[in-house]
Structures are given as C-alpha cells and as structure tokens.
Amino acid sequence: MTADISDSSMAMTYSTKRCRSGSSGWLIACLGLPLLFIQIATSSMAEMEKFPFYDTAKHGWFWYEDPPPETEQKNETPEKPAKETTRKIPSLSTYTIDDVWNMHPDDFQKLLGDLQKKAVQYPTEQNILEYLTMQDIARRKALAYTHAASYVTQKYTDIFHMNQVYPIAEPGVTARVQLQQEEIADTIREGKNDHALLFFTSPNCSFCSKQHQILAYFEEKYGWLIRTVDISQKVDAAARFNITVTPTLLLIRRGKPDSMPVATGVISLSELERKLYQAIRSLRGETTGDNFMVYDFQKGSSLDPTSILHTEKQPWQQSPR
C-alpha cells in the first residue's frame, strides 16, 4: 500500500515537473486536458438527462401505450392584402324621370342619400342640381300620397273616418261629451244594485279626509253604498285585497269573488265617475283590455280596435265604388 502511494506521488511529481520545465506545447497540453475532461463529462450528463435510458429501460418502447399524436403543421398561407374598392359615384344621367318616380322607396332613399353625399363632397353645379332634383321628386311623391290618401279616406268615409264618433268641430265635441256623460251616469246608476265600493283608510291620513268629502258628493248624487274600512283595525280585509296604500277605492260585485281597484289617492268626482264606469263594465265582462276605454256608442267604429276582426268582408276585398 505504501509502495503504491509512493509510485503515484512520483508520477504526479514527474508530470508537474514536466509541465513546469517543459516547452510551451507541453504547457498548453497540461492546461487543456482538464478542460477537455470537464466538457466531455458535462455533455455526457446532459445526454443522460435527455435520454434517461437507465431510468426507463424496463418501460419498453411503447409499453402498450399509444404513441403521442403528431402535431400537424398548418400550412399558413399569407393573407392577401385587401383590395382597394373603388366607390361608385351615382348620377341621374343613367335614369329617366319615370325610373326615379316609380323607384322602390328603399332604392329611392339610397339614391337620394348618395347624391347628397356626392354634392357635399364635390359641390359642383351639376352635382347640386341632381341632388335638388331628387329632393323635388321626393316632395312631389309625398304630396301625391297625401292627396291619394285624402281621396280614399273621403270616398270610404264610413270605414276610415272618425268624425262620426270623435268629431273635432266644437258642436260635435259638445255632443260627444254629452253622450259620454250620459252613458257613464246610466251605467253607475244601474250598477248600484249589484256593486259596492270599499273605501280603505288609515289613521292620521290627511288625504283620506279629502277623498271622503268627494265621496259624500258621489253618494248624494248616485245613492251608492260606500263602506269605509280602516286597515289598522281590519287587517284581514286589507290583506285579502292586498291594500297597502290609503286612500284606496275598490269595487266589488255581489255574489262574485272578483274585484277591481278604482283609484288610489285623491281623485276628482269626474275622474271617479269615469274610472268607476270602466270598472263596472270590466267586471261585467263587457270590455277587455283591448277595448277597455271604448264607449258603447263607439263600438264597431274606427275607435273600436278589435271590431275589424269581426267584419266578414274586409275593405280591400270590396269592389271599388
């Protein structure tokens, strides 16, 4: 053991002396060999990490597993530069007056807008003249429609005109209001026999006292039964009809579970009459949501929206008069 150590020590001493006392070539060799050994060792370690053969040798090549899918390389085609679109500038010279007059409204509107833009972009005499000509034709077309609509309305006045049920002249307005008031009063007087009003109040309600005064005039005029309900004491009644605001007027019908609110808050006598009239007719089933505000004398007229659904022959199906 001692001899081996001595021999190796002598070899190292000899090598060191050779490097110290030798030529420059020996010096370069002595310095380069250790660096070469380090580089080889480093590359070997990297290869082992890249291909861990000893770690996965027993795993096999595929180990009954599907090989990883190959990624498809997409053939990316370079995008073509967008072509510059040349804007088509319209001109009236390509149309006749009959073409423009009988043109579809959508096409007419587009041509009118294009000519306006052209006149704004290039305000020459010709461009402005074309645009103003289109404007004049548009005005004439609108005027022609107005005249034609007036002619048809007057010819078929029994179908489209509302003067017979909703006149605008002062004597006609007076007659219409009188008809409405008479119908409202008659309906309220007839309804007092099988209807009643519930007046919901609450303590310290200043609006309730004001509404109570108006209801006193109503009772005196029509002789209706109005029952006052204090929601602080009659909690069940308020919950039954879902009353949360006072004053509230509610209409009920004898022998029927249905009810309908008439008003919430303070309302005038005329408004109370009109709303009560509408509520009575609704509970009777005489009106629906479509004709809720239509009076009896207006039924079947232009003011009755759904009356056209019950007409056997529609206006456009009739022979011209």
Residues 288 and 192 in one domain: yes
Distance CA(229)–CA(265), nearest Å, equals 15
Task: Calculate mean pLDDT across residues 160-175.
Answer: 87
**By residue range, what is the domain housing residue 35?**
2-57
Domain identity same for 193 and 272: yes
**pLDDT value, residue 300:** 85
Identify which has the larger pLDDT, 150 or 54. 150
249-276 mean pLDDT: 94
**CA atoms of 165 and 179, how far apart (whole Å):** 10
Identify whether 85 is part of a domain.
no
pLDDT tens for each residue of 6-35: 444 444 444 444 445 445 554 545 555 555
Cβ atoms of 90 and 111 within 8 Å: the answer is yes
Q: What per-residue string of b and e applies to 260-270 under the rule 16 or more CB within 10 Å gives b?
A: ebbbbebbeee
Same domain, residue pair 282 and 228: yes
Question: Does residue 52 share a domain with residue 120?
Answer: no
Q: Which residue has the higher pLDDT, 50 or 64?
A: 64
Terminal alpha carbon distance of the chain: 140
Q: How far apart are CA 271 and CA 263, in angstroms?
A: 9
30 plus 122 within the same structural domain: no
pLDDT beyond 50 at 295: yes
Region 99-107 average pLDDT: 96
Evaluate whether residue 216 is within a structural domain. yes
CATH, residue 254: 3.40.30.10
58, pLDDT greater than 80 = no
12: in domain? yes
Residue 195 φ then ψ, to 5°? -135, 160
Same domain for 104 and 48 = no
State residue 44's pLDDT score.
Answer: 53
Read off the tokens for 275: 């709303």
CB 267 within 8 A of CB 275: yes
Which of 57, 80, 103 represents a domain boundary (last residue)? 57
Indicate whether 178 belongs to any domain: no
Kindly report the pTM of this predicted structure: 0.62
Q: Determine the pLDDT at residue 146.
A: 97
The answer as to whether 205 is a domain residue is yes
Q: Which residues make Cβ contacts (< 8 Å) with residue 250, sequence separation at least 6? A: 197, 198, 200, 241, 243, 259, 260, 261, 262
With beta carbons less than 8 A apart as the criterion, state whether 129 and 144 touch.
no
Last residue of some domain: 128, 151, 174? 151
- Residue whose token pair is 């039964």: 225
Pair 49, 120 in one domain: no
pLDDT digits (tens, 9 = 90+) for 128-149: 999 999 999 999 999 999 999 9
Looking at the structure, tell me whether residues 193 and 287 fall in a common domain.
yes
Q: Helix, strand or coil for residue 213? A: helix
Residue 86 pLDDT class (50, 70, 90 cuts): confident
- Classify residue 115: in a domain, yes or no: yes
CB atoms within 10 A of CB 187: 19
- Does 312 map to a domain? no
Are residues 222 and 276 both part of a single domain? yes
Residue 310 inside a domain? The answer is no
For residue 236, the tally of other CB atoms under 10 A from its CB is 8
Are residues 198 and 279 located together in one domain of the fold? yes
Q: Are residues 192 and 288 in the same domain?
A: yes
Q: What is the per-residue pLDDT for 63?
A: 60
**Count of structural domains within the chain:** 3
Report the share of the chain in percent with pLDDT over 70. Answer: 73
Q: What number is the average pLDDT over the span 98-105? A: 96
**pLDDT given at position 2:** 43
107 lies in the same domain as 195: no
Per-residue pLDDT tens digits for 181-236: 999 999 999 999 999 999 999 998 999 999 999 999 999 999 998 999 999 999 89
Structure tokens at 199: 């007046």
